Structures are given as structure tokens and as C-alpha cells.
Amino acid sequence: MLKKKHAHKEKKESTHLFLFILGGVLLYFLSGWVDELRVYQGASIAVYVIAISSIILLTGYSGQVSLGHGALMAVGAYAAAVLRIEYNLPIILCFVAAVLVAAIGGALLGAAAARLSGPYLAGTTLALAVGLPSLANQFTVLGGEQGLLFDVGFPPLALGEEFTQYKWFFWIAGLAALISLWTIRNLLNSAYGRAWKAGRANEVAAQLAGINTARSKVLAFTISAGIAGLAGALLAMTIGTVSPSAFPLALSFAVLTGAVLAGITTLGGVIVGAVVLVIIPEIADLIAHKLGSSESVITNLPGLIVSGLLILTVLFVPNGPVEQHRARKAKHEALLGSTH
């Protein structure tokens, strides 16, 4: 029985690996078929996929609420930019540093988070997101209000003259997203993921089962922060700069909204939340120009649409459309099974 179960698990993992590789191949060909704007949007979607997956790991599996993940993204972005400017490190090392520095920040925050819960933890992370811009302005190495330029360099000449900068962004962000999702999925299916879910479901019962829930929470916050730091560095790559205005409080809320739209307890819907976050500005711009609205309306309309979608999702599909479809399918299969 155990051998059969183990074989089934190995087959499932092989299927997932094949799907991830297939996704990478599709990204490769897709970048050559669509126009530059869509390629740039594809890079933005990949960035949001990584950011949203960090929230799903933290909140959906560990049960900790963060309203300040935009600040952790900024930490990773600043780390990558400073190392790139001051030491001219290879871009891959800058991204690794973004993960490590943000993870260290997450570990420190997670140590406090282990003693907090509910609104207290949310308030602490919210304070971090609010206070980060003023902190960045205190250090000249961080560029103040103007921020820092973040240049990842031109694509390799071996890729050809027609391989544009936006395609290079798309490749980097797409590959990072695939690797991140693969890593997170394996983590969530491991003993660490089971410990996080047990602590979220019933912390006392998890402790009685021998799980150190405080250490488990710190680990979840550390990993989630590292993933957010990578997303922040990739976001800085796509916009070419790192500044307080590039990582506002609204970014934290947008990523959290994307996670709710995706389904906070499932990793399978991250692409849904990411696509929605990327197309909302386009929809808002289209509506505003159709109505002939003022500049202030154009500026605030995306936030209004995001808020409306969040409310509708919580009311009608609280677990996200992907998880809702999966639950409906499982219920239908159970009904069919009971009739036979």
C-alpha cells in the first residue's frame, strides 16, 4: 500500500515537473509571437505571480496576515540596486542578494510575528509599509525621493539583434516565476507545508503533536519575505528604477487583493490574480477616457476597481475561482460516485 502511494506521489511530481518545463517552452515561443506591449505585460504578470505566491504561502498556509509585503518587495529591490550600482555585481547575484536580504528582514519581522496574531500582526506589517518611504529618504545611498536606477544590462548578443530589452525582462521574470512556483509547491507539499497548515488550523493541537509553531511561523515569514524580495527586484527591473513611490502602500494592498482573487489557500490560481492586476490599469484607462473623466478620476479608478473586485470575490467566491471550481468538481464527482 505504501509502495503504491509512493509511486503515485512520484508520478504526480513528474507530471508537475513536466508541466513546469512545458510552461517554460511556451514562454519561450510566446515572447516571439506577441508585440512589445504584451511582452512587457507578460513580464509584469510574472512579477505579480511571484509576489502573490509569497502571500499565499504566508497567509493561506501559515495563517499569518501581512499588509506590508510591498515593503519587503522594496527591501529586495533596494538591495539588488545598491549592489548593482556600488559593486557592479552580475545581475543573477543581485537577484540572489535581493532574496537573502529580504529573507533576513522577514526573519526579524517573523520573530515579532510569532508573538502576534490577527489585527496586531496586520497592524505591525502595515506600519512597516507606511514607514519605509521615510526611512529610504534618510540614507543617501538609497537615492532619497528620486531613488536609484536599476539597469540589468542588454540581452546577450547570442540571442540576436531582434531580441529586445522587453523580451529580456520577460525571459528573466518568466524563468524566475517558474522556479519560484516549483520551489513553493514542493515546500507546501513537504513536512514544512504540513506543519504550517496544522498550525493554521489549530495551533494548540499542532503544539500537542510536537510542532514548534513559533519556529514554524518565523520560517514561513522568512521564506515568504525572500520570495517577495525577488518579486521586488524583478519589478524594479521592469520599471528601471527603485524609489519610495515605486513601492507605495497601494502595492501591498494590490498584491493581497491578487492573492484573494487567486484563492488564498491555493497556489493554482496565482496566474488569475496576476493577470487581473496587470489588466486593471488598462480597463480603468479605457473607462476613464470613454467617460472623459478628470485626471484625479483616472488616477484613483484602478484602486476603486481593485476594491470592487475584492468585495465581489469575498462575497461570491471567497476561496477564489480556481479553488471554487475544484471544490465544485470534487462535489460533482462525489455525487456521481454515490449514485453508482
Q: Which residue in 310, 251, 203, 311 sits closest to 76, CA to CA?
A: 251
So what's the pLDDT on residue 138?
79
Whole-angstrom Cα distance, residue 16 to residue 191? 19
Helix (H, G, I), strand (E, B) or coil at 93: helix
The predicted-structure confidence for 309-326, as pLDDT tens digits, reads as follows 878 887 877 777 766 766
So what's the pLDDT on residue 11?
55
Residue with cell 473586485: 309
So what's the pLDDT on residue 17?
62
So what's the pLDDT on residue 2?
46
Q: In the 3-class helix/strand/coil scheme, how is 104-126 assigned residue by residue?
A: HHHHHHHHHHCCCCHHHHHHHHH
Whole-angstrom Cα distance, residue 18 to residue 277? 28
Q: Is residue 17 part of a domain?
A: no
Whole-angstrom Cα distance, residue 187 to residue 272? 21
C-alpha cell at position 44: 509584469
List own/partner pairs for 276-282 with CB under 8 A and 24 or more apart. Answer: 276/309, 277/48, 277/306, 278/41, 278/44, 278/45, 278/48, 279/41, 280/305, 280/306, 280/309
DSSP 285-303: HHHHHHHT--HHHHHHHHH
Residues in the chain predicted with pLDDT less than 70, given as ranges, are 1-25, 27-32, 116-118, 292-298, 322-323, 325-327, 330, 332, 337-340
Q: Are 40 and 265 in contact (CB under 8 A)?
A: no
Whole-angstrom Cα distance, residue 103 to residue 58? 13
Q: Which residue in 336, 19, 276, 197 sits closest to 328, CA to CA?
A: 336
According to DSSP H, which parts of 34-162 are helical? 36-55, 69-87, 91-113, 118-136
So what's the pLDDT on residue 132?
78
Helix (H, G, I), strand (E, B) or coil at 242: strand
Cα 48–chain centre separation: 5
Find the CATH number of the domain harbouring 249.
1.10.3470
**What separation in angstroms does the CA of 180 have from each of 185, 242, 273, 283?**
8, 22, 16, 29
So what's the pLDDT on residue 262?
85
So what's the pLDDT on residue 183?
93
The predicted-structure confidence for 253-306, as pLDDT tens digits, reads as follows 899 989 988 888 888 789 889 999 999 888 888 887 777 666 666 677 787 888
Residue 45: domain span: 38-154+163-339
Domains held by the chain: number: 1
Q: Is residue 310 part of a domain?
A: yes
C-alpha cell at position 125: 506589517
Average pLDDT, rounded, for the chain: 84
Q: Is residue 14 part of a domain?
A: no
Whole-angstrom Cα distance, residue 167 to residue 145? 29
Q: Is residue 61 part of a domain?
A: yes
Q: Is residue 255 part of a domain?
A: yes
Q: Is residue 302 part of a domain?
A: yes
Q: Are 52 and 262 in contact (CB under 8 A)?
A: yes
Kindly tell me the burial class for residue 325, based on how many C-beta atoms sit within 10 Å of its own C-beta (0-12, 13-18, 19 or more): middle
The answer for residues whose C-beta is within 8 angstroms of residue 72's C-beta and 6 or more apart is 66, 102, 105, 106, 109, 225, 228, 229, 232
So what's the pLDDT on residue 318?
73
Beta-strand pair 148-149/241-242: antiparallel
Q: Is residue 11 part of a domain?
A: no
So what's the pLDDT on residue 75?
95
Residue with cell 484607462: 285
Rg (CA), the chain: 21
Q: Is residue 10 part of a domain?
A: no
So what's the pLDDT on residue 30?
66
So what's the pLDDT on residue 3?
53
